[in-house]
Amino acid sequence: MKRIITYGTFDLLHYGHINLLKRAKEQGDYLVVALSTDEFNWSKKQKKCYFSFEKRKQLLEAIRYVDLVIPENAWEQKVTDISLYQIDTFVMGDDWAGKFDFIEEETDAQVVYLPRTPEISTTQIKKDLEHNKLRNINSISC
């Protein structure tokens, strides 16, 4: 059985996330998703999620491509996770290209960077929602 792992926050789950998870699963038989905890997102990324870790985990577990969801608590856990879960392939979006090449040197896992879905991102959704909110406020005050 070929095991795959990917990491992410998966906040405001959208079809770009689903595309990434589907393509990650196509790399093997068993997909582990390391989901960034709320504490990790805040302390290491200064990022506050819309949905809590538990809600994001529940969403991921409902996706047919995902076999197991584990917490991501630290940047450094990747090498340990690969050993612990007997991972063959480490997958990330290509916006991270080159950042995890060290994994091939420190483990037996292959690193694969998959193209992102270009027209969608959580960051863009948040910007669009904020823009629409401001536009609606301005139209009310006129």
Digit-coded pLDDT (tens) for 11-35: 989 999 999 999 999 999 999 999 9
Mean pLDDT of 73-89: 96
Rounded Cα distance between 18 and 60, Å, is: 9
Question: Where do the DSSP E strands lie in the chain?
Answer: 3-8, 30-36, 68-72, 89-93, 110-114
* Residues with catalytic roles: 45, 47
Mean pLDDT of 32-49: 88
| Listed range (18-27, 63-72, 132-141) with the worst mean pLDDT | 132-141
Do residues 91 and 4 lie in contact, with contact meaning Cβ atoms separated by under 8 Å? Answer: yes
Task: Please tell me the predicted confidence (pLDDT) of residue 126.
Answer: 75
| Listed range (27-31, 97-101, 123-127) with the worst mean pLDDT | 123-127
Could you tell me how far CA 73 lies from the centroid of its own chain? Answer: 13
End-to-end CA distance of the chain: 62
Using DSSP bridges, classify how beta strands 3-8 and 30-36 pair: parallel, antiparallel or unpaired. Answer: parallel
Mean pLDDT of 114-133: 78
